[in-house]
């Protein structure tokens, strides 16, 4: 399967009478976007704000971050099964507004939501401070159930991202990047001497509002399966969960998964990137056993020599991570794990809730319990008072001057377990 991603670089974002992309600037008609959001009667009000790199702006509580993309050529549309019909994506041509994002916020949905600072020390921990963000502040109607609020906010983000992406449909990209995965037999013929590598992508699916969607299906309803990596780049997997902000995979993370991009970079050079195995994370032991059994079975069936496994979340999912590792290693297949750590504020506690001697190659995204100080911002988009209750915050985290003392886990993407961050440990 072959996909061409056409990057249209966005260097600025501004409000204007007409939505368009021109000379590297994304112009947005604010009223059109508000009207699009308010098509959903679950919202009583909506506002749209801009947040650019270096501006003294804090966004809280952040729910999701989405990169605008549009199918230009080939089957399907962006976010299949969500706002486009269910058709296999991952081939043809897709244009990307690179450097722009849609960020959703408003009244808090779950306690595991986060902060994006566009300036200061907090900005150094999140990749989203480097983007030109269109922030959707969507307030739900009174009495709306949390899961209904989450769904409404999720779809608002997708709809606006699609609206912005369509502005780039007829544009000529600044750069074109091609990604191609041959069939299993073709790969063996093309790269007979290269090690065969697969990527086990663990998807958060541990109960209500801990959802990840694959072609519109909640991952907890699916067995471990295989997918072309380019399908993920075309929006086949989207976020719908409320795990801690620091290691949550937003929709933007899935679209720009750095493990996939790095494996493609080495594909045909130092390794043969065979496919992605997607596996859910579960609450009950039997479900954990089933999913990890299938991960190992598929890795064996594919005849791979090595596997990279990335986790989402912490604590309970650590068991799924270690099960995947042990069972894949037992097949004679080498594993490398990507996770983060909850090692206590002083860094001396056990980093993961589970462990095994076979987990001897681990990449860390940092310690989410580290305490940080965030200075006040000139402008706050959202509801700053929730910092005392979101995961990583505590009673007294928010100070009278608007500054914040909290654990690193309050910052969206700070210890991301795909490695989409600036922290690690050696």
pLDDT averaged over consecutive 10-residue blocks of the chain (426 residues)? 97 98 97 97 97 98 97 96 95 98 92 93 97 97 93 96 97 97 93 97 89 94 95 96 90 97 97 97 94 97 97 92 97 96 91 91 94 98 94 95 96 95 74
Tell me the two tokens of residue 12: 């600025």
Is 72 within the bounds of a domain? yes
Closest by CA to 376, choosing from 391, 398, 395, 392, is 398
Q: Cα(26)–Cα(13) distance, rounded to whole angstroms? A: 5
Is 421 within the bounds of a domain? no
Is 73 within the bounds of a domain? yes
- Per the CB < 8 A criterion, the answer to whether 108 and 61 are in contact is yes
**Per-residue model confidence (pLDDT) at position 426:** 59
CA angle 180, 181, 185 (to 5 degrees): 140
Tell me the two tokens of residue 140: 């739900």
396: left (phi over 0), alpha (psi -120 to 50) or beta: left
149: left (phi over 0), alpha (psi -120 to 50) or beta: alpha
Is 425 within the bounds of a domain? no
Closest by CA to 274, choosing from 282, 284, 283, 263, is 263
Burial class (CB in 10 A: 0-12, 13-18, 19+), 21: buried
Is 157 within the bounds of a domain? yes
**Number of domains making up the chain:** 1
Instruction: List CB contacts of 191: < 8 A, sequence separation 6 or more.
Output: 268, 272
**Per-residue model confidence (pLDDT) at position 208:** 79
Q: Is 138 a catalytic residue?
A: no
Tell me the two tokens of residue 282: 């579960």
Catalytic residue among 138, 242, 246, 275: 242
Q: Cα(222)–Cα(212) distance, rounded to whole angstroms? A: 11
Is 173 within the bounds of a domain? yes
**Per-residue model confidence (pLDDT) at position 353:** 86
Q: Cα(242)–Cα(208) distance, rounded to whole angstroms? A: 9
Is 415 within the bounds of a domain? no
Q: Cα(29)–Cα(294) distance, rounded to whole angstroms? A: 48
Is 96 within the bounds of a domain? yes
Give the domain extent around 177.
2-410
């Amino acid at each position: 399967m072959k996909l061409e991603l056409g990057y249209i670089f966005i260097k600025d974002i501004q409000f204007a009478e007409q939505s368009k992309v021109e000379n590297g600037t994304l112009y947005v008609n604010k009223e059109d976007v508000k009207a699009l959001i308010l098509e959903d009667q679950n919202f009583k009000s909506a506002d749209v704000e801009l947040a650019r790199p270096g501006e003294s702006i804090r966004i809280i509580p952040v729910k999701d971050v989405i990169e605008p993309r549009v199918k230009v050529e080939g089957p399907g549309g962006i976010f299949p099964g969500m706002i486009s019909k269910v058709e296999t994506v991952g081939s043809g041509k897709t244009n990307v507004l690179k450097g722009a994002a849609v960020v959703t916020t408003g009244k808090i949905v779950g306690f595991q939501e986060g902060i994006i600072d566009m300036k200061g020390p907090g900005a150094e921990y999140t990749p989203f401070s480097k983007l030109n963000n269109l922030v959707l502040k969507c307030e739900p109607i009174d009495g709306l159930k949390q899961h209904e609020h989450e769904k409404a906010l999720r779809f608002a983000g997708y709809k606006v991202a699609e609206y912005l992406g369509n502005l780039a449909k007829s544009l000529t990209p600044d750069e074109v990047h091609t990604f191609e995965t041959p069939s299993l037999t073709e790969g063996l013929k093309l790269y007979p001497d290269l090690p065969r590598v697969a990527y086990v992508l663990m998807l958060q699916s541990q109960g209500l509002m801990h959802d990840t969607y694959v072609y519109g299906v909640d991952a907890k309803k699916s067995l471990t399966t295989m997918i072309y990596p380019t399908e993920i780049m075309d929006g086949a997997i989207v976020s719908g969960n409320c795990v801690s902000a620091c290691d949550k995979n937003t929709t933007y993370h899935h679209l720009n998964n750095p493990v996939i991009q790095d494996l493609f970079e080495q594909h045909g050079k130092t390794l043969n990137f065979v496919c992605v195995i997607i596996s859910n994370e579960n609450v009950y032991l039997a479900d954990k056993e089933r999913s990890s059994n299938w991960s190992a079975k598929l890795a064996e069936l594919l005849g791979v020599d090595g596997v990279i496994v990335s986790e989402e979340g912490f604590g309970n999912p650590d068991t799924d991570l270690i099960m995947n590792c042990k069972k894949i290693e037992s097949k004679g297949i080498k594993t490398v794990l990507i996770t983060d750590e909850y090692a206590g504020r002083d860094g001396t506690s056990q980093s993961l809730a589970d462990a095994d001697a076979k987990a001897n190659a681990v990449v860390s995204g940092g310690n989410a319990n580290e305490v940080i100080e965030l200075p006040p911002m000139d402008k706050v988009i959202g509801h700053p008072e929730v910092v005392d209750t979101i995961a990583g915050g505590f009673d007294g985290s928010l100070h009278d001057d608007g500054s914040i003392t909290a654990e690193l886990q309050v910052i969206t993407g700070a210890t991301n377990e795909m490695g989409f961050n600036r922290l690690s440990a050696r």
